[in-house]
């Protein structure tokens, strides 16, 4: 056996043991092979015969994790021959996967946003192609991934997932059975805690996002939009721990009023929640109108107070999405502090602005007489 190939389980030691069934997965020891058996068996059978079809050279063997697969005995991922288009840029001939058949365009948004993630593990380079996990674009739950994750995913991923194998020259080759283990580890890291939406779930729970809930670091506050609250069970104000804020859109400004008295400023980071921009719900708000997924009334009040921003008329800042709030000095921040600051702006600052002719046109921001 070629000992330059790394183990399909630990990716560290040279491989010396083959899978006795499919002979495509290799391991450094029987212990690693045994640890991989439970997961490996879901796709091991039949892979050798499928590879013999081999419609080369414009196709490469790939893996498809389809959405909403029925019945139960068809839950495992399946092999496909994925077509690749050849392109001839100035440097060298390259291949591009033709994914239109498996990841179609959205019927609502026009074009579905697709993510490409390349993962290197030892001598392996695996590419994952998946649509954004939107709720109102027609995507169905990917029950195949749920089956593979054994209930450990944070939320129900929506839409199909493609798994490809790349070469060191950034072209493609046939996927291997062992590549599925890399995919599982990737989604385990991204979605480390499962919270099912069921009848006994408290939708006001202090939900913490696994991607931010890191040991050490400092406390920050997440202010969730309506979509995250209703679809993922987020609380409006929830506490999270971060080692560093996300590299995303942020707002910050000089100290103003209560921020100055507290002795610290705040920075707002846009949080990628996965809710589709500008999509509306089938449910209705108190006025009988469909509510927007990105609606976050509290953020507009906080923008006024802490950033010195004058809200534009209409709902420009209402559709803010979910934000992460941190102190400029990176010290701890609690949800009750941010909630009190939002209430101060909503009940005092913004009504005061209306006295000077700045009308925001939303009854939520009028004084409550409390």
Domain ranges of the chain: 43-190, 218-365
Q: Are 221 and 324 in contact (CB under 8 A)?
A: yes
> With a threshold of 0.85, does the pTM exceed it?
no
Two structure tokens written together for 250: 């942020």
Give the CA diameter of the chain: 81
Helix 30-44 with 179-190: angle, nearest 10 deg: 90
What is the pLDDT, as a whole number, of residue 315? Answer: 44
Using N-to-C axis directions, what is the helix angle for 335-344 and 297-307, rounded to 10°? 80
H/E run at residue 353: helix 350-355
Contact between 175 and 62 (Cβ < 8 Å):
yes
Q: How far apart are CA 217 and CA 22, in angstroms?
A: 45
In 3D, which of 188, 193, 185, 192 has the Cα closest to residue 10? Answer: 185
Query: pLDDT value at position 363?
Result: 43
Per-residue confidence (pLDDT) for residue 3, from 0 to 100: 52
Tokens of 263: 């002795």
User: Between the CA of residue 140 and those of 133, 143, 225, what are the distances in Å?
Assistant: 9, 9, 22
End-to-end CA distance of the chain: 77
Which pLDDT score is estimated for 271? 73
Which residues, other chains included, contact 36 with Cβ-Cβ below 8 Å and sequence gap of 6+? 8, 9, 25, 27, 178, 181
How many residues are listed for the chain in this entry?
370
Q: What is the pLDDT of residue 48?
A: 60
The pLDDT, as a whole number, for residue 55 is 67
| Per-residue pLDDT, 163 | 92
- pLDDT value at residue 280: 45
Task: Find, among 171, 103, 96, the residue nearest to 132 by Cα.
Answer: 103
Query: Which residues, 6+ apart, have CB-to-CB distance to 137 below 8 Å?
Result: 106, 107, 108, 109, 112, 276, 279
> Taking a C-beta distance cutoff of 8 angstroms, is the pair 270, 321 a contact?
yes
Which pLDDT does position 213 carry in this prediction? 41
Positions of the chain with pLDDT under 50:
106-111, 135-136, 192-215, 254-255, 274-281, 311-315, 361-370
């Amino acid at each position: 056996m070629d000992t330059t190939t790394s183990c399909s389980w630990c990716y560290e030691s040279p491989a010396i043991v083959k899978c006795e069934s499919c002979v495509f997965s290799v391991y450094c020891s029987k212990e690693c092979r045994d640890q991989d058996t439970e997961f490996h068996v879901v796709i091991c059978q039949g892979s050798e015969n499928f590879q013999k079809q081999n419609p080369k050279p414009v196709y490469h063997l790939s893996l498809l994790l389809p959405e909403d697969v029925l019945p139960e005995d068809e839950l495992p991922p399946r092999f496909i021959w994925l077509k690749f288009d050849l392109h001839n840029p100035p440097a060298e001939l390259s291949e591009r996967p033709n994914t239109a058949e498996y990841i179609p365009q959205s019927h609502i948004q026009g074009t579905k946003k697709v993510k490409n993630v390349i993962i290197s593990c030892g001598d392996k380079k695996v590419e994952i192609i998946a649509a954004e996990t939107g709720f109102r674009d027609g995507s169905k739950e990917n029950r195949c991934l749920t089956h593979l994750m054994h209930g450990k995913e944070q939320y129900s991923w929506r839409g199909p997932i493609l798994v490809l194998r790349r070469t060191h020259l950034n072209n493609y080759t046939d996927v291997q059975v062992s590549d599925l283990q890399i995919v599982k580890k990737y989604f385990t890291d991204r979605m480390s805690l499962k919270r099912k939406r069921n009848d006994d779930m408290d939708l006001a729970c202090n939900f913490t996002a696994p991607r931010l809930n890191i040991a050490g670091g400092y406390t920050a506050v997440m202010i969730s939009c309506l979509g995250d609250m209703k679809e993922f069970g987020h609380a409006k104000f929830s506490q999270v721990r971060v080692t560093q804020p996300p590299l995303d859109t942020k707002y910050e400004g000089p100290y103003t009023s209560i921020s100055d008295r507290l002795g610290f400023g705040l920075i707002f980071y846009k949080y990628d929640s996965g809710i589709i921009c500008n999509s509306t719900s089938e449910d209705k708000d108190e006025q009988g109108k469909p509510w927007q997924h990105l609606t976050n009334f509290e953020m507009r009040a906080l923008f006024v107070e802490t950033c010195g921003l004058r809200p534009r008329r209409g709902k420009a800042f209402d559709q803010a999405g979910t934000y992460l709030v941190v102190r400029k000095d990176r010290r701890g921040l609690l949800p009750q502090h941010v909630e009190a600051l939002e209430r101060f702006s909503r009940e005092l600052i913004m009504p005061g602005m209306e006295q000077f002719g700045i009308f925001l046109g939303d009854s939520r921001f009028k004084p409550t007489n409390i």
